[in-house]
Amino acid sequence: MEELTRTEERVMQAIWDLDTPFFIKDLVERMPGKPPYNTLLSVVRILESKGFLGYKAYGRTYEYFAKIPKEDYRKSGFRKLLSDYFDGSTTSLLSFMAKEEQITSEQLEQLQKMIEGKNQA
């Protein structure tokens, strides 16, 4: 899966939040600061060329839709993070989080239950 720039990712987040096919004007209304129509159209076309969006043409008007689910993008990003920064080791990631982040005992308990549940499956 291709990586997205920050701008492309922000636009995709808005599209996933819409959770329905959309026209560019709908997306302009949804985006913070209401970016210019042509700017947003350019980003949408890039996302379409990267395979993140599809479209249906109605004459000269296009209705776009997400082709990549948010969950798939999230998984891909997580795998990249794990691979690039933690040598693919979940243990290293969790160790880092425990040392660097404020993890509550409740959160640790939830993690332990998830791990135990996975080991039983």
Is residue 121 over pLDDT 70? Answer: no
Measured CA to CA, the distance from residue 54 to residue 69 in angstroms comes to 12
Domain boundary assignment for the chain: 6-66, 70-120
Are 39 and 4 within 8 A, CB to CB? Answer: no
The per-residue DSSP string of 7-67 comes to HHHHHHHHHHHH-S-B-HHHHHHHSTT---HHHHHHHHHHHHHTTSEEEEEETTEEEEEES
60-105 pLDDT per residue, tens: 999 999 999 999 999 999 999 999 999 999 889 888 888 887 788 8
pLDDT of residue 101: 78
Architecture of the domain delimited by 6-66:
Orthogonal Bundle (1.10)
Mean pLDDT value across the chain: 92
Is residue 111 over pLDDT 90? Answer: no
- For residue 118, give the H/E element and its range: helix 105-120
The answer to which of 22-36, 64-78, 105-119 has the lowest mean pLDDT is: 105-119
Is residue 119 over pLDDT 80? Answer: no
